[in-house]
Amino acid sequence: MKIGCPICKQKQELNFKLLFKERCNSCNEKYYLHYSKPIKLFRFLMQTFIFIIGIYISTTNYQKLLLIPLFFISFMIIEILCLLSLKE
């Protein structure tokens, strides 16, 4: 699946490296600056929700810290959904 850069219009393949970098290879523009307002709100609310749940779980029982990989996966899913909004 290809993601189009809003500035230079170059297309990149959606891969794991792009999830961490969130920048265009050619013009180095940050993708998250060009999300629409509903996508930015969705991203903010979901990440805040995951942080609150993570803090609550980590303070109640230390054995539940094994859920950290689940939170990491949740963040990756949120980033994939946000980057898909730039799909061309």
- Determine the pLDDT at residue 64: 67
pLDDT at 77 over 80: yes
Domain boundaries, the chain: 2-84
Q: Are 9 and 32 in contact (CB under 8 A)?
A: no
Burial class of 12 by CB neighbour count within 10 A (0 to 12, 13 to 18, 19+)? buried
| Global pTM value | 0.61
pLDDT in tens, 26-67: 788 777 777 778 888 888 888 888 888 777 776 666 666 677
